[in-house]
Structure 1
Amino acid sequence: MTLDEREKIIKKISRTLSIMMCDIKLNQSLNIYSMNIHSEDFFCNIFNYLWQNKNFKNANSASSNEAYIDLIDHSSKHLIQVTSSTGKNKIDNSLKILESSNTHYRQYEFEIYYLLDKPKKLKKETIKYYNEKFGIEDINDHLKDFTDLLNDIKNLPDSRLESIYRQFFREVSEKYTDEIALQIVFESLIKDKKKKKIDYSESFNNVNLTQKIKLNGINIKVSSELHRGSEASLPIYESVEDTILTELRELIVEEFYATIIKQALSNAGASPKELANQSIDELHALINNKYPLNISAALGDLSHRIEEETREASYNETSMAWVIISYFFEECDIGLKL
């Protein structure tokens, strides 16, 4: 396996895990927990593959003494809780397996694997509490999430890396088409966000965005959409994993936007030879130097294309399509650069 082939497989696995996280968040917000149950078996199989000396079983089908954890391997004395809840109560509940009535589990190794992000920056008092009650030196060492899992996967030799992708990730990856992934990200971003009225008394104060709008000759209607989208784009910066952003960029910028720009340039007189295999920057250079285009119309077409590919979604009464467009516009992936 070449280094490039290895990196492609790792990227596919990372993408699948990232979209699974968004999907689980979305389902949880709708009080649908079937994915959590499925995830227990999914990760049980992956852990058994990763750690060849392990033989985890789903503890939920075992005796009531194992009610506080999900996966157990009695031969290697190893317990794992698989959860999407990041609260301290979940840790407390999981560690009930180590309390006095279950003293035979005191010697078991344990981890809590989070389907979403693991808790960050636990208080010193919390770490001290688990140390004094259970003899756990640092509870943080026992809290894992998909980044830890991905690091273990990255360390696999070529043959086993290819095998784990083929056995456990390929089918899931193929399920998450680009358009489905986009919809999941949309809905994950706006879940739990209450709609609020737009304050029309406020002035736009994003200087860089205003300058870029002026450079691109954007009309008032599209300018308004970009400003509103920009104001609603904070969750993208705060919540979306880099892997997902890369996927979104490839779909929105490299596929949807590039296709629209190429068609517009063709209509303006550009030849197929001029457009073939051109990067976004090269297409923008053609607009700057030879074929001036109506960027407002191109962005409008892009918003329609995104909306065609997804169910209607909005964030704070702003079309999610324009939130995404505004994000890539400000990041200089879309539109002429300053």
Structure 2
Amino acid sequence: MTQPASGNVAALQLMAVAVCAGALLARARARALETTALNNVASAYWTIVERREKESKQDTKDESFPAHIVPDPCLEPDNENLAKLGLKPNHCWTDVDIKKHPERKRKLVLLVRHAEAIHNVAEKAVGKKVWNETEGLKEKYLDAPLNDTGRAQAAALAEAVKDAIQNKGLHIDAIVLSPLARALETAHIGLASVWENVPKVAVEHCRERFGICLSEKRRQASVMAADYPGVDFSRMLVSDHDSWHRDDYRETPADIERRVHTFFDWLINETPWDHVAVVTHSDYIAHALQALGAPWHWPANGELVPVVVEANISN
């Protein structure tokens, strides 16, 4: 049998090597794509879960809950044009008629997210994972206060609220506050036009989702009372020190919704106010809206989200 020429053998060997190399490269690329896909799936896991939870809860009303939101044609949350305060164009606050059905127990609740605080910027800079594991555990973020941007946002809120009161018929009968520093400061600046003239009550049950990160741990109530002498810290605060915060446990969404239940049961059934500003936090507002049967909405820093809340019939 005729043997192939040595040149042909070398060429065939080179072709075989090239084919093998191509196959290995293709396999490596496939593995890289698979790894990237798996990483993307892993990194998006909580986002997917949270979105499904949001979608499953939208536009539902839990009859066992103490209250629900009554859709009002004058109101629409808007986290881009904060100066509107959630009021639709060509409407006034007097158009929001909570006395339309006097036999029903209704209130206008103005949910206000605190303005930007130092921990908001820090968390964005390092990312949620680093924040939750290391950065957010640093003492400098304890009960995080507003930064300069946040104070400017609160001042803008103050102007919008003042205009709404003077020109559009807005009324605020009381201010209910989260006992965290950023909520207190936002209310003091942003609701300056009514601050001295209405009751102000700090309530533990409308604070931010707590645990692990020190930005969610509050100072002693006695210290806060010295800073804000006009605020009543004696109602619905569990203790002088923060007995809720734990370094090894993060409050779950179900935990937050239980607090929302307790809070609105108190607000609807035990307070005399018809028009209440509640200065609180993003997680709390988002979960409160869901629990009250409203579509999902994530408020911006310094945003006011107005809702008409009605006691459920069983209450």
TM-score bracket, shorter-length normalisation:
under 0.3
Structure having the higher Rg: 2
Instruction: Tell which has more relative contact order, 1 or 2 (C-alpha 8 A, sep 6+).
Output: 2
TM-score normalised to structure 2 length: 0.24
Q: TM-score with structure 1 length normalisation?
A: 0.23
- Between structures 1 and 2, the one with greater helix share: 1
